[in-house]
Amino acid sequence: MTDLAKQINRRRTFAIISHPDAGKTTLTEKLLLYGGAIQSAGSVKGKASDHHATSDWMALEKQRGISITSSVMQFEYEDFCINILDTPGHQDFSEDTYRTLMAADSAVMVIDAAKGIEPQTRKLFRVCAMRHIPIFTFINKLDRESRDPFDLLDELEHEFNIGTYPMNWPIGCGQDFRGVYDREKREVLAFDQFHQGRNRISGIHCDITDTEKLDELIGERRRTELVEQVELVDVAGYEFDLERVRRGELSPVFFGSALTNFGVEPFLEAFLRMTTSPLPRRAGEETVDPFDPHFSAFVFKIQANMNKAHRDRIAFMRICSGEFERGVEYFHTQGGKAFRLSQPQQMMAQEREVIDRAYAGDIIGVFDPGIFSIGDTVCDVSLKGLRFDKIPTFAPEHFAMVEQTDSMKRKQFQKGMEQIAQEGAIQIFFEPGRGMERVIVGVVGVLQFEVLEYRLKDEYGVTFYRTNLPHQIIRRVRTDKDFDPTKLTLGSDTRLVQDYHGNYLLIFPGNWAIDWALDKNPGLELCEFDEM
Ligand code: G4P
């Protein structure tokens, strides 16, 4: 194997997804601890405490103690080079969260054992399923009262329509939590309060048939229960099939407790064994092989003003093939030009480090003078013309009317709105015949409104009035030359808007309003937001 192939082969790039509070930050922190990337627990914490998440950089995040922008963390573990894509852990969503998943080769879904699937997990899962990437499940907080493990698996299977394969099986929960049974090794890993926070725990080897030893370890009642449950899982559960795992059809499930550091290392090891090195990517008719030595990447996130002192704008790229080298000229497909990417950086969350080289699977941030858009392709000059498939746009679900307060600052308002819209954090719509001083903003998660308000004020010095609208659904209007959308008969609760390109869209407060509009306007054809 060449050096390049070795580098690519050892890379694992994944996203951790969860509903807020399920334990994503805690698990990430423990993984980083194993890699020696951080020295002490608490440095990734994104909570309102003294230490802030390494991935928090916006002042707003600090104020609110939440992590809004997703970032990337790289660390080494054994021979692997691991890139964790952090997705925001708060209640609200932005397109950013979804797009981050476009840059991952697999996902780890953290679930609170007491709660099971929660709304955010559901949304994120849908994106993973759409991409058919492997999904690993970490059922967390077994040291607390938890739901029945069979119930939890059943819920996953039915709600997500995937198979599950428990890699281990919990022995009790809460006060009664005694550890897990490793199905592959057929041994018990006993939990002891004494293990709390310790980095490495060696399992107590105990064959499931060794009744005497098991009784000693976990007690007779729990042993009988365990044997019964394990038999049931063996007989009634899915068979392990690595190919199905890799196609995202079977999710390996791990039970554990991130806070007490229980089951995290076995999880990491099994995860690394089962996941693949960077996956190929589609670019129209072509499939780009990650091991192709020619560099190619796509932009999945743009973040402006990460560092106010520098007023910079960073484009994050996922490298899809080959090796990136600092100072080499690369081709930007959408811009039609070759140029040198300046200040290529890799992120260890907040710490940015200028790098000379990076490989397929890695994420790099480059200084963007305003030329990149989400989804753009950058590649070796010899691959000129390569164009990775578009990143899907997600339909906004919340809308507000935004009107600038100070007409003297029209330019700044316009610039700020455009900039933030270009980053993909918000979508801007116009009312036909109206100018830019009043626009309709659509977002995937309502917190984006606050982010918009904060950033416009902080970065562009402008304020605005915001009126939240009751609309929730957006549809594109199919038009041809004989169809004039401005002549539509619409209920008072439905609005006609236009996007930047002048396309017409309708926003509705509910499905019934869609039916009403279709009924009143024969010939009206609607399609989903990301179609056309
Ligand atoms: P998130 O990133 O998914 O939002 O969750 P986070 O890791 O911040 O965890 C949310 C809360 O759950 C934290 O408590 C955390 O300590 C706790 N937690 C995480 N994993 C476990 C676990 O395995 N067992 C138990 N018992 N608790 C767990 P908090 O009180 O909200 O924050 P803090 O005061 O501990 O910082």
Q: What is the pLDDT of residue 46?
A: 39
How many other CB atoms sit within 10 Å of the CB of residue 325? 14
CA–CA dist 375, 470 (Å, integer): 31
Give distance in angstroms: CA of 26 to centre of ligand 1: 6
Whether 408 maps to a domain, the answer reads yes
Length of the chain: 532
Burial class of residue 129, CB neighbours in 10 A (0-12, 13-18, 19+): middle
Give distance in angstroms: CA of 44 to centre of ligand 1: 12
Q: Using the atom order of ligand 1, give the atom closest to the CA of residue 19.
A: 3
Whether 437 maps to a domain, the answer reads yes
Q: Using the atom order of ligand 1, give the atom closest to the CA of residue 26.
A: 7
Q: Using the atom order of ligand 1, give the atom closest to the CA of residue 18.
A: 3
Same domain, 348 and 491: no
Top mutation candidate among 18, 19, 21 for ligand 1, by most atoms within 8 Å of CB = 21
Same domain, 289 and 261: no
CA-nearest residue, atom 15 of ligand 1: 23
Give distance in angstroms: CA of 524 to centre of ligand 1: 50
Q: Is the whole-model pTM more than 0.85?
A: no
Q: Which of residues 258, 274, 290 is at a domain's end?
A: 274
Cα–Cα separations (whole angstroms), residue 224 to 101, 188, 207, 208, 220: 42, 14, 14, 10, 6
292: tokens are 């192709």
Q: What is the pLDDT of residue 4?
A: 96
Whether 257 maps to a domain, the answer reads yes
CA-nearest residue, atom 10 of ligand 1: 21
Same domain, 257 and 375: no
Q: Which of residues 350, 383, 416 is at a domain's end?
A: 383
315: tokens are 């484009």
Same domain, 417 and 366: no
CA-nearest residue, atom 32 of ligand 1: 47
Burial class of residue 6, CB neighbours in 10 A (0-12, 13-18, 19+): exposed
Whether 291 maps to a domain, the answer reads yes
Identify the domain containing residue 132 by its residue range: 12-71+88-274
Residue 376 sits in a domain of what CATH number? 2.40.30.10
CA-nearest residue, atom 4 of ligand 1: 21
Whether 7 maps to a domain, the answer reads no
Q: Which residues' Cβ are closer than 6 Å to ligand 1? A: 18, 20-26, 45, 47, 49, 89, 140-141, 143-144, 257-259
Same domain, 215 and 297: no
Same domain, 180 and 49: yes
Residue 506 sits in a domain of what CATH number? 3.30.70.3280
Whether 83 maps to a domain, the answer reads no
Q: Give the count of domains, the chain.
A: 3
CA-nearest residue, atom 11 of ligand 1: 21
CA–CA dist 464, 125 (Å, integer): 35
Q: What is the pLDDT of residue 194?
A: 56
Q: What is the pLDDT of residue 197?
A: 56
Same domain, 459 and 517: yes
Same domain, 484 and 359: no
Q: Are strands 398-404 and 438-443 parallel, antiparallel or unpaired?
A: antiparallel
Whether 110 maps to a domain, the answer reads yes
CA–CA dist 436, 454 (Å, integer): 19
Same domain, 258 and 314: no
Same domain, 176 and 217: yes
Q: Which of residues 256, 274, 292 is at a domain's end?
A: 274
Whether 345 maps to a domain, the answer reads yes
Give distance in angstroms: CA of 451 to centre of ligand 1: 25
Q: Using the atom order of ligand 1, give the atom closest to the CA of residue 28.
A: 7
Same domain, 521 and 430: yes
Q: What is the pLDDT of residue 67?
A: 42
HSE (CB half, 13 Å, CA atoms) of 110? 27
Q: From first to last of its 532 residues, what are the pLDDT tens digits of the chain? A: 899 999 999 999 999 988 888 998 889 888 888 776 555 444 444 333 333 444 444 454 444 443 444 467 888 888 999 999 877 655 556 677 778 889 999 999 999 999 999 888 887 888 888 889 999 999 999 999 999 999 999 999 999 999 999 999 999 999 888 889 999 988 888 776 555 555 556 667 778 888 898 888 888 999 999 999 999 999 999 999 999 999 999 999 999 999 888 888 889 999 999 999 999 999 999 999 999 999 999 999 887 655 555 556 778 899 999 999 988 999 999 999 998 887 777 765 446 677 889 999 999 888 888 788 889 999 999 999 999 998 877 789 899 999 989 888 889 998 888 888 877 778 899 998 887 778 999 998 787 888 888 888 888 899 999 999 999 999 999 887 677 888 899 999 999 999 988 899 999 999 999 999 999 998 899 998 875 4
Give distance in angstroms: CA of 47 to centre of ligand 1: 9
Same domain, 378 and 511: no
